Structure 1
Amino acid sequence: MLKVLFAGTPDVAVPALRELAGDKEHFQVVAVLTRPDAPQGRGRRLMPSPVKEAALDLDIPVLECDPKEPSFITELKATGAEAGAVVAYGKILKEAVLGALPMGWYNLHFSLLPQWRGAAPVQRSVWRGDTITGATVFKITKGMDSGPILAQSTCQIGAHDTSGDILSRLAEDGSHLFASALTAMAEGRILLREQPQGAYEVARKITHEDARIRFDVPVFAVDRQIRACTPEPGAWCMLHPKGSDEGNGKTEGDNSEVSSSAERDMGDTEPFHVLKARPASADDPQVPNGLKPGMLASSKKHVWIGTATAPIELEEVKAQGKKAMRAADWARGARLSADAYAD
């Protein structure tokens, strides 16, 4: 039986923790390492991480100390762990920590390494338009996500999948891959394979500003951005429900980019979140023609925003201070002017 210290923080790490903890024939999860309770919500109440909640439910001791602290290695060794199992922990482990467990540390990463090393592999994969991604189990070394590989599995990215959809599937499927790979490693039945050398793109974290939707690009790019940023950090734009005196800053026949919101009338401007959307159907006669980038149009059952090519249809939205709702229901109560736009 392999004694494991599990390190993780968000929801996507919970299936792997439960898988290892439930396999009492092969594993003993001696402790869980996660971030300290953090303020959340409007009240800024201190809340435990999803992994901490699962650990407490499983009656597993929880460590919330910083691995950079000098005392951490002493606490780590006191757990009796032989190996570390990491899923979306969120902190870098230094060489001294990596060398403190006799069988090393292993990570479940949500990409087909060596492609998309880094913090947001699924989001970047969706944004790029990849059709296949996957999960990789590898041994953690000094370099970022560059250690030798134990096992991999693949996952299709559907035309309408969000990063949240993909992460949910990978978290569940990857939990079984992780357990199988660690079992084989502990029993000496697996050979580690070095990652090929080369220049690979890093999946840097997507910021709130990255998630601001651009409508001056083709509709396929708008669609990918929205799906990549859903549910986190959330695709958004600035809504101008009354338009502007300049008619969105365009003249007849002008195809230039929509000017920045700082250059326009900011009255009634508000943040606006797009939770679900898809490119408008080319076969639908209701879809408006010639809708300029950022301009809104609606019918009884539909809401569209123009892009550099075809419009994108909004399906679910969340206006400032409102609950999430169907886009058509929102539009009926929003009192949009004829030249309402978003940017």
Structure 2
Amino acid sequence: MRLVFAGTPDAAVPSLRALAQSDHEVAAVVTRRDAPLGRRRVLTPSPVALAAEALGIPTIKTDRLDAAATEQITALEPELGVIVAYGGLVREPLLSAPVLGWINLHFSLLPRWRGAAPVQRALIAGDEVTGAAVFQLVPALDAGDVFAQRPHAVPAGATAGSVLDALAGEGADLLTEVVDAIASGTAESRPQTGEPTFAPKLGDDDGRIRWDESRDAILARIRGVTPEPGAHTTIEGTRVKILAAGPGAQDAPPLSPGEPALHERRVLVGTATDPVVLDRVQPAGRSAMAATDWWRGRRDAGTARFGS
């Protein structure tokens, strides 16, 4: 088939590469415009744009699938549109422009976690299993009939970044299988069943640690917002990023929420239940470091408290 592929971040690159290596023709790639990155705000192509260039595939760069983008895509006469984390909505008339419409690779087991941040929300909620789904794109958010799903057990201690990396590879295989089935006329889709849950995009406040929550809820939040938007807290009014943390030992002393202590060369912080161990942190204006080194260098280590 003749395809148009829409995607932007690293998570979409394995799918693009898999389709480019398949028997199908990727006529063009649609991705968001170059964005300013780093302290110098250098305009940088998206990961998908870079992959498309390496593959020799023409690219349409647009932040909105507006009338101009619709005209460009329609002129290519695609049979099927494929979208993976593009970062924008496909509306009519573009939704019906390809003969077979659009399919979407989504990183959850639908209808759970419809929306922009399914992996992050799944980990924050403490889900032990997530997955990938390929479904028919419809006007309603992530509500179309599902062609195939593949579950993925969440490893202990996994972050949203590591789970998304795994799902990006597994999802690329699943997506290619569905595209092959659509091309051969053997694809079957089924309506989603069950009560939907939603996964809106994360903001900075989603990474704020609330020490009056349970240890497990705090650790789940840290894993769910790592690497983006990142977990953070304050100590005596100064912001600190939490890059890695884990459960305290069974013999850890009881601590009130936000109360720190150095126990067996490890920095503990109290929660509503058991303490959390801080492994790596990044104080404001400084580089990442071991939490123990940071704590030992504080003059107020005996009196400071973490805020929520």
TM over 0.5: yes
Counterpart of 1:122 in structure 2 is 119
**Separation in 2 of the partners of 1:57 and 1:334?**
49
**Separation in 1 of the partners of 2:284 and 2:12?**
31
1:274 aligns with 2:238: no
Deviation for aligned residue 1:177 = 0.5
Please give the per-residue CA displacement for 1:281-327, whole angstroms capped at 9, x wherever unaligned: 21xx4x2x231111221256311111111110011111112222221
Listed as ranges, the matches of 1:208-219 within 5 Å are 208-219=204-215
Deviation for aligned residue 1:94 = 0.6
Unpaired runs of 5+ residues, structure 1, are: 241-268
**Separation in 2 of the partners of 1:334 and 1:48?**
41
Listed as ranges, the matches of 1:52-67 within 5 Å are 52-67=49-64
Aligned length: 307
**Separation in 1 of the partners of 2:9 and 2:65?**
20
1:342 aligns with 2:306: yes
Q: Secondary structure at the match of 1:4?
A: strand
Q: Secondary structure at the match of 1:340?
A: coil
For residue 135 of structure 1, the aligned residue among 132, 136, 156 is 132
Counterpart of 1:153 in structure 2 is 150
1:224 aligns with 2:220: yes
Counterpart of 2:47 in structure 1 is 50
- One-letter identity of the residue aligned with 2:155: G
Give the percent of matched residue pairs that are identical in Structure 1 and Structure 2: 42
**Separation in 2 of the partners of 1:270 and 1:53?**
38
Deviation for aligned residue 1:228 = 0.7
- One-letter identity of the residue aligned with 2:285: G
For residue 318 of structure 1, the aligned residue among 268, 272, 282 is 282
Listed as ranges, the matches of 1:1-343 within 5 Å are 2-23=1-22, 26-196=23-193, 199-240=195-236, 269-282=237-250, 285=251, 287=252, 289-299=253-263, 301-343=265-307
Please give the per-residue CA displacement for 1:13-70, whole angstroms capped at 9, x wherever unaligned: 11111111122xx211111111111112111121111111111111111101354432
**Separation in 1 of the partners of 2:133 and 2:11?**
14
Please give the per-residue CA displacement for 1:135-192, whole angstroms capped at 9, x wherever unaligned: 0000101111011111110100122111111111100111100001111111111111
Q: Which has the larger radius of gyration?
A: 1
- One-letter identity of the residue aligned with 1:183: D
**Separation in 1 of the partners of 2:93 and 2:145?**
19
User: 1:300–1:41: structure 2 CA closer, same or farther, 3 Å change rule?
Assistant: farther
Deviation for aligned residue 1:100 = 0.6
**Separation in 2 of the partners of 1:66 and 1:167?**
23
Deviation for aligned residue 1:95 = 2.0
Unpaired runs of 5+ residues, structure 2, are: none
Q: Secondary structure at the match of 2:161?
A: helix
State the TM-score, normalized to the length of structure 1: 0.86
Deviation for aligned residue 1:5 = 0.9
User: 1:14–1:334: structure 2 CA closer, same or farther, 3 Å change rule?
Assistant: farther
